[in-house]
Structure 1
Amino acid sequence: MRTVYSPLHARHDGGMELHRGELVPCFEMPVRVEYILAAVLAAGLPIMAPRDFGLAPILRVHDADFIAFLQTAFAQWKAVGKDGFMLPSGFAARSMRQDHIPTGINGKLGYYAYDAGTPIVEGTWDAAFAGAQSALTAAALVAEGAPAAYALCRPPGHHAGYATYGGYCFLNNGAIAAQFLRDQGRARVAVLDVDYHHGNGTQDIFWERADVLTVSVHGTPESEYPFFRGYADERGAGAGLGFNHNFPLPRGTAWDQYRATLEEAIAAVRAFAPEALVVSLGVDTYENDPISAFKLKEAHYPLMGAAIAGLGLPTVFVQEGGYAVAEIGRNVAGVLTGFEGH
């Protein structure tokens, strides 16, 4: 299995996030990738640079105005005399108007963002674009016949919706990969999200579609981010009704309960009979993750990879969360080697 990696991820660095009421340094940091890279190299997984597919595949799943905002946001910030990192100071929530995009940068931030935990810095677009190209390259490898490929993306992507960003995510790498596989002729594609946090952005993008199944196993939104999506009764709408499956689990979930739920999620994927699979691979389900509350141990990640491999599908792994930095590499490599060794 090849790993697709770009050093441009490191350009997204710095800033603070508002985490459960406190302004703190970002948990999503460049060193996460360095630990993963070292672990996959140690596991013997070859590394390659991403190809450049340009903007067109990104615009297949994201709004053009939203993408233009991400490309120019920091320049607009500097144009009003600011520097450093950008966080919104107001949001287009419930009773606020959502049919008009403000012209000022502070209003635009609150229009497109849905949290104050996802800072934009000068290099954010470069890093996000490179991450999307990594996901596209991994998808291309699978479309060309590789049984599996791994996109070491940073920043992550599964919280980014059609025209929104949050949860450390700007471009939805998993959704971009899934759409690319569709465009390469795969009639049905499934996205299986095993990150601790619900993949609300992926759900948003494919909510009314029957050709891409979205399945997410995650911490209950009753207490866990993103709080307002991820309930079991969210099944899709229109043509997509029945093609979205959420499996929320309580804080403290350990391997036995998680494994049984993962088997349910895998059964939902199998019933859909997809021609390819995208795995949104977060390892923040680990017991020592600082912003999550499951109790999976290091030994469980190879078992997770083997369970996913049991589907027998061409598979694209796309990196999402995992914030126990010292262990993140071993846990990611555990999933990948467990998949390969099945």
Structure 2
Amino acid sequence: MKVVHSPLHRRHQGGLELHRAELVPSFECPERADYIRDALAEAGHAFVEPRRYDPGVLLGVHEAGLVDFLRTAYARWQAEGRGGSMLPSGFPARGLRRDRVPEGINGAMGYYAFDAGSPIVEGTWEAAFAAAQCALTAAELVAEGERAAYALCRPPGHHAARGSYGGYCYLNHAALAVQRLRDRGIGRVALVDVDYHHGNGSQDIFWERSDVLFVSIHGTPDTEYPYFLGYADERGAGAGEGFTLNLPLPRGTGWDGYAQALDVALQAVSDFDAGALVVSLGVDTYEGDPISAFRLDAGCFPMIGARLAALGLPTVLVQEGGYAVAEIGTNVAGVLGAFK
């Protein structure tokens, strides 16, 4: 399988996040991509560089205000004599105005962010845009006839919504891949999110669309991040009603429960009659993940890959989470191996 990867992911590093009332180094670190790259090289996958795209392509799934904020945020921060990590200190919660963006960088950051765990550092925009180009390139490869292609994206993307960022995610790479496939003439595209955390950003982007089926298997938002989306009664709206399927599972879910949910998800894809599949590939469902709580061992990931591959669809796999760093490469390789 062709692996699209950019070394520019390393421009996003050194950030701090607010985790359980403490400022700690971000769990989302450059070593994640390094371990994946090494494991895939050992498995014999072919690496290609991302193609270059104009930032305007991002407007297919994101609001212009978010894109402009992310592109200019750190320079504005520096203009005020600051450095290090950017983290917001306030958000437009219930009872506060959400109809205007504050002029100052602190207020603007709180307007566009939805958590204090997604630091912006000097190289964040460069890394995030490079990751977006990886996903777009993988989609192009599949549109051009590849059976499957994998975008080694870092930072991840599935929490980034049309107009907000969070959950370590700044641009929604999987959504960009979906839109690129649609633009290349594939009529219906299924997006299956197997990350431990709900893909709230992807759901937001495709909420009112009937040409994209969004399916997510994740830890229940009753106890798991991002908390405020991902319940089973969320089914889409307007033209998109019935084209969102959430399969929340409790903490401690093992293979038996997970496999049942995966079968439901993949049956929905078959019923949708999709022309292509995009997978938000998080491997933080692994039992050793430090910020997740499913109980899948390393042997489960080849089985997940086999079920996805059995759909027989042209497939773009886009890297999302996975924070058991030493094991992440093995687990990603386990999924991708089924597509050879």
TM range (shorter): over 0.9
8 Å CA contact 1:57, 1:180 repeated in 2: no
The CA deviation at 1:93 is 1.0
Measured in 2, the distance between the counterparts of 1:66 and 1:317 equals: 25
Matches within 5 A, 1:1-342: 1-340=1-340
Between the aligned partners of 1:319 and 1:54, the Cα distance in structure 2 is 22
Does the CA contact (< 8 Å) of 2:13 and 2:30 recur in 1? yes
Runs of 5+ consecutive residues of structure 1 not aligned to the other structure:
none
Could you tell me how far 1:338 is from its partner in structure 2?
2.2
- Unaligned ranges ≥5, structure 2: none
Structure 1 residue 20: Cα displacement = 2.5
In structure 2, C-alpha distance between the alignment counterparts of 1:215 and 1:95, rounded to whole Å: 32
Does the 8 Å CA contact 2:148/2:339 hold for their aligned counterparts?
no
Cα shift at 1:84: 0.6
Cα distance in 2 for residues equivalent to 1:331 and 1:21? 30
How far has the Cα of 1:54 moved from its partner? Answer: 1.6
Superposed CA offset, 1:289-327 (max 9, x none): 000000000011000000001111000000000000000
Residue 11 of structure 1 aligns to which amino acid in structure 2? R
**Distance in 2 separating the partners of 1:301 and 1:128:** 26
CA distance in 2, matches of 1:54, 1:252: 43
Amino acid at match of 1:259: A
Please state how far the C-alpha of 1:53 moved relative to its aligned partner: 1.7
Give the secondary structure class of the aligned counterpart of 2:278: strand
Q: Which structure 1 residue ranges, 4+ long, deviate > 2 Å from structure 2? A: none
The CA distance in 2 between the partners of 1:8 and 1:299, in whole Å, is 31
Q: Which amino acid aligns with 1:35?
A: Y
Tell me if the contact between 2:16 and 2:24 (Cα under 8 Å) persists in the aligned partners. Answer: yes
Distance, in Å, in 2 between the alignment partners of 1:216 and 1:126 is: 28
Question: Is residue 194–residue 280 contact of structure 2 (8 Å, CA) maintained in 1?
Answer: yes
Question: Within 2, Cα distance between the matches of 1:331 and 1:54?
Answer: 33
Deviation larger for 12-21 or 301-310 = 12-21
Cα deviation code 1:62-88 (max 9, x no counterpart): 011110100000000011111111000
RMSD between aligned alpha carbons? 0.6
- % identity of equivalent residues: 65
Cα distance in 1 between the residues matched to 2:264 and 2:19: 32
Render the CA deviation track for 1:183-237: whole Å, top value 9, x for unaligned.
0000000100000000000000000000011000000000000000000000000
Number of residues of Structure 1 aligned to a counterpart in Structure 2: 340
Question: What does the per-residue CA deviation read over 1:30-80, in whole Å, with 9 as the maximum and x for residues that have no partner?
Answer: 000000000000111000100012213211000111101000000000111
Q: Deviations over 1:155-183 (max 9, x none)?
A: 00000000100000000000000001000
Query: Residue 131 of structure 1 contacts residue 173 of structure 1 at CA under 8 Å; is this kept in 2?
Result: yes
Q: Which amino acid aligns with 1:16?
A: L
Asked if 1 retains the 8 angstrom alpha-carbon contact of 2:255 and 2:295, the reply is yes
1:96 & 1:149 partners in 2: Cα distance? 44
In the TM superposition, what is the alpha-carbon distance from 1:108 to its structure 2 partner?
0.4
CA distance in 2, matches of 1:224, 1:67: 28
Residue aligned with 2:56, SS: coil
Q: TM-score, with normalisation over the residues of structure 1?
A: 0.99
